[in-house]
Structure 1
Amino acid sequence: MLKWKTTLYAAVTLVLSLTAGPVRLHAHGAYHDLMLSLTAEMEKRPDDPDLYRRRARVQVDHEDWQAALVDLEKADRLDQKAVESDLLRGRALLLGHQPQAALQCLRQAVQGFPELATPRMYEARALAALGQSAEAYEVFRQAVERLVQVEPDHVFEMAALARQAEGPQAALTVLNEGLDKLGSLPALTDEALKIEIELKRYDAAVVRVTQMLTRTKTPLPWLAKRAELLTLAGRVPEAEEDWQQVVSQVLALPTLQRGSHAMCRLLERAQVALGKSPLPRPVVAAPVSASPSSVTSSSAFSPPSSPQ
């Protein structure tokens, strides 16, 4: 009985490791070290199929899909537990641009582990690669419903699939659901705004940006965005008020911050929107060693003196 429980625990641990997200190999050295470590273990235990699968996963995460397929074939010859290899084989085949073959493997992985999200996500990606947008969107949604923690990347991917399957309104619905769940994340908000502008729902976009203004620590870009949206909505007086606020707030910044490229561009946009000539950019000089008598009291917007 104890041996059976130990074997079951090992199998579950392996399955969870194989169905987890990609290992982040930020440098080739990390991949090389992992491969050396696994290969050294395999020399001691050449008939251990789990080691072949683990090495295959590292290879898939490094996009070395052909080597991964070879290791998976060896693993399956050793213990015939093909269901544990299906997800990795499907991922490898997707990397090799073979979505039809990948789909067959990934559907087997879903059947083997129906409670897990990852196999369904890759199944959705295979369906999308085959142009089956509606089914891909539905399968990906089922995968997200099984996640313990939804990440912004999941929302972006599901919104893209929703757009392919049903159009921009479906994508906007997905983004709104993600924002409700994760909070007002700037990246998701910006993507939702793009769709609202595409659908010419300018007033709704203004409301969304106004909500961001109450939460963000960097209000100036959002204030400028609201001014642009108010203009598109035909609410010109309100837009001019926002642009005036942009000008006032930028000019109130310390010279070094006001002289940054981003703030200069923002000020130029505001001046042009108000029908005024852009102000000269502030001179932000690097510190130099000079005697106090050589320092002039020029204005922040004065041009540098002509060379002698």
Structure 2
Amino acid sequence: MDYSQDKIVLKAESLKIHYHTQKGYVRAVDGIDLVLKKGETIGIVGESGCGKSTFGQGILKLLPAKTKYEGKLSVGKIDIIPLNEKEMKKVRGKVVGMIFQDPMTSLNPIIKVEKLFYETLREHEPGISFDAARERAARILEKVGIEPERMREYPFQFSGGMRQRVMIALALVLNPDIVIADEPTTSLDVIVQAQILELLDELRRSYDTSVILITHDLGVVAQMADKIAVMYAGQMVEQNVKNKIYYEPKHPYTKLLLKSIPNTNPEDLQLNFIPGSPPSLLNVPERCRFASRCPFRMDICEKEPPVFGIDGGQVKCWLYR
């Protein structure tokens, strides 16, 4: 696809993604709006179970067969929701790449790295030869800091950080318009984390790729994101540019989330936390979903708040009515 500068590459409008279970539908993503522009990085943050990974995998329709989609979800001019599995295969990898949480379970341990690249390229370029695929793989592996000779090895022969570099290379080898990075630094030590994030950001600029960075680590999005979207209980409760979120947060959940980050001041050893638990996404209350944990709760919070535009961003809270 050919996008002009600032062109929208992904747009979600009132998007709902509900899992089918024997007890009913789990409202994992429940009415979110998001816009991603060319070359932009959006960080999606929130507690475990808030719907971050469901949103990311939902873009590629990698969820169970009975998952219900509502609203609108478009990548460029492609309307994703009506597409069947055969049509989605043309989108995965070529239009939207994915870096999964755990490369050890995402990379087939009994297939050599060179064949992983060959299968990825052949899916979208059926006529490509094995030698041509190896040549393409060698170029992208060099860019992520892996010697091309190591293509003949198996994933289990690589360290955790090197496996993640292979995953990044696989996600970028087809030069997609969007890369979804789902917890790309989970289980890596802090030094390797920094290297992976620096590499990912460098490649994003080099390929002019848009990135959706899904994480619970606010330090990670501070390093990479242009904008941040905060998710809670299946909804996006606040969106704005990075500095506004960090220095002028609006939603009570965002404020408490930032306060819960351990600080390095030896005179302040207090560990802050958010009391209570998120609501069950099987039986979501028809009110503000953060109300039971919110220190600013009011009577009006018994009604679900709309999204208010404020300070160049959006916030889903009655405090700004």
State the TM-score, normalizing by the size of structure 1. Answer: 0.31
> Which one has a larger percent strand, Structure 1 or Structure 2?
2
> Which one has a larger percent helix, Structure 1 or Structure 2?
1
Instruction: Determine which structure has greater relative contact order: mean sequence separation of CA pairs < 8 Å that are 6+ residues apart, divided by chain length.
Output: 2
State the TM-score, normalizing by the size of structure 2. Answer: 0.30
Rg larger for: 1
